[in-house]
Structure 1
Amino acid sequence: MTVLRALLVWSLLAGVMVVPVIVATGSEFLQYRSATYVVAGFAGVIALSILLLQPLLASGLLPGLPMSVGRRVHRWTGVALLLAIAVHVVGLWITSPPDMIDALTFTAPTAFSVFGVIAMWALIAAALLAGFRKKLRLRPQLWRLAHVTWASVVVVGSVAHAILIEGTMGTVSKILICAVLIAAMALTVHRLQPWIGVWRRGAANLRR
């Protein structure tokens, strides 16, 4: 029964991740577009799919995968996520530099651009926290709270960006993966409870 449950969860997860990519291949938005635009668009869709894995890997929510292994994979998929976002941003920059300048300077007239850039900078902040964890010498509780906070901003910003933009993903597949992503992040925060220990230490210092 446990094996069947694991297979079912992994199959559903794979479906949620792969379907938006498949739907995007037949998108009318890719017709008559340059190869650079197509690559940039697919990089954004793939990034959203990879993002879905991150909270599940970090919190040990995937059946059959120990949390210790999941967190090691989490680091590598984090690198893959950064690369996908880099391809997405660079590709769109090559396609239309003025639009990307407006987006990066928060002067774009479209809300999805703002949320996309916020998610990008939050992802960079979360990655820097992970990369310089030892050098920062933060207490584990404080580091976890900061990392989860930035990760939550990445998820919320990415979902808002995806929902608001009329891009290559289909409406149904887009809403589905975004809903599952929000649920995965909420379950992860509930399971990790990153605030535990942070406030206790602060209260203890105040009493001294």
Structure 2
Amino acid sequence: MTGRTSARAILIWAVLAVAVGAPIAAAASSEQLAWRGPVYILAGFAGIVALGLVLVQPLLVGGYMPGFSGYRGRRAHHWIGGALALAIVIHVAGLWITSPPDMIDALTFASPTPFSPFGVIAMWAIFIVALLALLRRRLGLRPRTWRFLHMPLAIVIVAGSVVHCLLIEGTMETISKAALCALVLAATVKVMIDLQVWRKRRALRGESIARQ
């Protein structure tokens, strides 16, 4: 590893640590926690961790994470996806325990809070992706079919999660929350553009070889 590569890797890990750690630290110091029970607090922090994992996923897909390229990156993406689903389960279960009527309203899209439907839609998209990933071999999903199903759901997850987070006025500090959401969107857009360009180049290369 060259000096430039090493410095780039350190910078990427540092930015990721700050992007995910700052909102968690800010939420941990929020005065609103004094009026919250331990289950509610656990549920809230599970939601913050989930958003951080949403940031990591496109970074792994695009091969931007140092030390996680190729097979290792794909395996890490699978495990992080499982951790994301688990974090959402903890988030929803904790909120259900603390206030079942509010969660019923949210899950049935009857909640008056504007952030609820976005979170519920993102949640179901996450669960669908996790279920498809578990059944992928059994269903015989080819890579092309898997991408066709996975990409739209990933967009729904990112968009729903970001809007859900931004609309909530809770323990998360505004600036660090907005920065994390902006990074999630930026990482997702970049990986989608990069992968599209890569596929076009591969298609053009294949056409060129076929003509020879």
Runs of 4+ aligned structure 1 residues displaced above 2 Å come to 191-194
Matched, 1:193 2:183: no
Matched, 1:176 2:179: yes
Match of 1:93 in 2: 96
Alignment partner of 2:87 out of 84, 87, 98: 84
Aligned equivalents of 1:190, 1:51: Cα separation in 2: 18
Match of 1:26 in 2: 29
Tell me, yes or no, if the aligned pair for 1:52 and 1:181 is still in contact at 8 Å: yes
Alignment partner of 1:165 out of 143, 163, 168: 168
Deviation of 1:142 (Å): 1.8
Match of 1:108 in 2: 111
Deviation of 1:59 (Å): 2.0
Tell me, yes or no, if the aligned pair for 2:115 and 2:163 is still in contact at 8 Å: yes
- TM-score normalised by structure 2 residue count: 0.88
Aligned residues: 197
Aligned equivalents of 1:67, 1:190: Cα separation in 2: 18
Query: Aligned runs of 1:128-139 on 2, under 5 Å?
Result: 128-139=131-142
Matched, 1:147 2:140: no
- 2:55 partner letter: L
Secondary structure of the 1:111 match is coil
Match of 2:210 in 1: none
Deviation of 1:29 (Å): 2.2
Aligned equivalents of 1:165, 1:191: Cα separation in 2: 31
Tell me, yes or no, if the aligned pair for 1:78 and 1:127 is still in contact at 8 Å: yes
Match of 2:209 in 1: none
The runs of 5 or more residues in structure 2 that have no matched partner are 204-212
Question: Superposition RMSD on alpha carbons, in Å?
Answer: 1.7
Match of 1:12 in 2: 15
- After TM superposition, the structure 1 stretch with the greater mean CA deviation from structure 2, 55-64 or 80-89, is 55-64
Tell me, yes or no, if the aligned pair for 2:46 and 2:88 is still in contact at 8 Å: yes
Secondary structure of the 2:36 match is coil
Query: What do the CA deviations read for 1:87-137 (whole angstroms, capped 9, x no partner)?
Result: 110000011000000000011111200000000000011111211111222
Of all paired residues, the percent bearing the same amino acid is 53
Tell me, yes or no, if the aligned pair for 1:59 and 1:67 is still in contact at 8 Å: no
Alignment partner of 2:68 out of 60, 65, 85: 65
Aligned equivalents of 1:138, 1:79: Cα separation in 2: 19
Tell me, yes or no, if the aligned pair for 2:68 and 2:76 is still in contact at 8 Å: no
